[in-house]
Amino acid sequence: MLLFSLILSLLVVSLFFETTQKQKDRHVDDSSLLQMRAFLSEEAAFSPSLPVLSLLYEKGEPAGHLYLYDSKGSHGSDLKVGVENAFVTPASSTTLPTLLLRAGESYDPGAVSLSLPFLTRTGDFPTSHVSSYKNVLLVPGKTPYSVNTARFNALAAKAGFDGFLDHANVRLFLNRKNMGVYHLGQNFSSSFLASRYHFKRSDDMEKEEGTEAKVFNAFHLQDLFSADLNREEARAALEEKVDIRSLLTLYAMNVLINNPRFPDYQFRAFRARTPLPDSDLPYQDSRVYFVTGGADLAFQQKADAFADLMEQRGYGADSVFPHLMEADAYRHLFLQVLGILRRDSFTDEGMHFHNPFLDADLQQYFHTSKQEVLAKAPKGSLADWLRPPA
């Protein structure tokens, strides 16, 4: 009897510690994590350079679970996130879903951030977290949207243009199914702008996106742009409301990548609602600043973005760009910006890098050489513009 009582006591104690340990390490015992670890142990099936996201969710449920792993398969954390289907311009016939993730208390009470620390440690993601209610896009990694937009943002970052969205390549498991390589990117949200440009609150700024005309109308800039900009006082009035170098840099970068959808549907801008005089940080002076948009149709030979802008045909028919080029000061500044970008960042080498996740049928997006760009210049004028400054 004594032996039976002793055995029973040991079983109870063992069960208690086992239950406690399971509660402590509940993520480790989750079936999806066990399957994931088994998958990650197979070297042939795993690219060690990529972090892994495992997303579990059911349609109709307000939140799903996002499991994070570093590139070695070590489990990071389990986060509750809102999951939505998102729509991007389908530049390819992929049937893989594009997803929009949201973080915040409405999905996970008490949560203040969607932490992605392993991406910071591997150098794939410039920011250490995605703050409360920030939107994150997960786009199939082999689509022109993800490949070209990531490439454009990388070129913009190399050029020192601060208005680009952070991104990284990851491997995605969706409800335990391997979806392959996905592109993780920040969406153009108020919380992204607040964290990137050091605003204390996301409602301290206002943002707009869409066509150039829509953005300028929203910020009441059309009259300023339509003035005679060869007059110094007209330029001063415009520059009081707009960071003109930021705007001309955005034009120059989209010309260099031959983006036929710019400035329609790819224009993004923001400004502080009111000037913040106590802050010495940039971007908080209530002028309008610009952020890169998508580049899914860029890097190809089918269209000439520069000609569209200058001749106001097709896309960009309502653009203020030709009017800006009539002002000597802005034309010279644009040529200077364009030449510096071409010399230092948007080089032949930078425009032709190899992407290991790129399908062969997408190679066409990477074949616009300097000579081909020059040949397409209207009246040959772009040839002089692309020459680097002496």
Domains of the chain by residue range: 31-186, 200-385
Cis peptide before 277 (omega within 30 of 0): no
pLDDT at 74: 62
pLDDT at 162 over 80: yes
Task: Report CA-CA distances (Å) from 359 to 142, 147, 353.
Answer: 7, 10, 14
pLDDT at residue 365 greater than cutoff 70: no
Please give the mean pLDDT across all residues of the chain. Answer: 72
Which of 205 and 235 is assigned the larger pLDDT? 235
For residue 335, name the pLDDT band (cuts at 50, 70, 90): confident
The pLDDT value given to residue 127: 39
Return the percentage of the chain with pLDDT > 90, whole number.
Answer: 14
Tell me which residue of 114, 98, 116 sits closest to 106, measured CA to CA. Answer: 114
Q: Which residue has the higher pLDDT, 135 or 29?
A: 135
pLDDT digits (tens, 9 = 90+) for 54-76: 888 887 777 888 887 766 666 66
pLDDT in tens, 178-192: 888 888 877 888 877
DSSP codes joined into one string, 168-224: EEEEEEETTEEEEEEEEEE-S-HHHHHHHTT-SSGGGEEEEEESHHHHHHHTT-HHH
pLDDT at 245: 94
Indicate whether 146 pLDDT > 70. Answer: yes
- Cα 35 to Cα 22, 165, 170, 291: the distances in Å are 17, 33, 18, 40
Residue 312: pLDDT band with limits 50, 70, 90: low
Top mean-pLDDT range of 96-105, 171-180, 202-211, 369-378: 202-211
Between residues 204 and 218, which one has the greater pLDDT? 218
User: What is the per-residue pLDDT for 271?
Assistant: 95
Backbone angles phi, psi at 181, to 5 degrees: -75, 130
Q: What residues contact 351, with CB distance under 8 A and at least 6 apart?
A: 155, 256, 257, 299, 366, 368
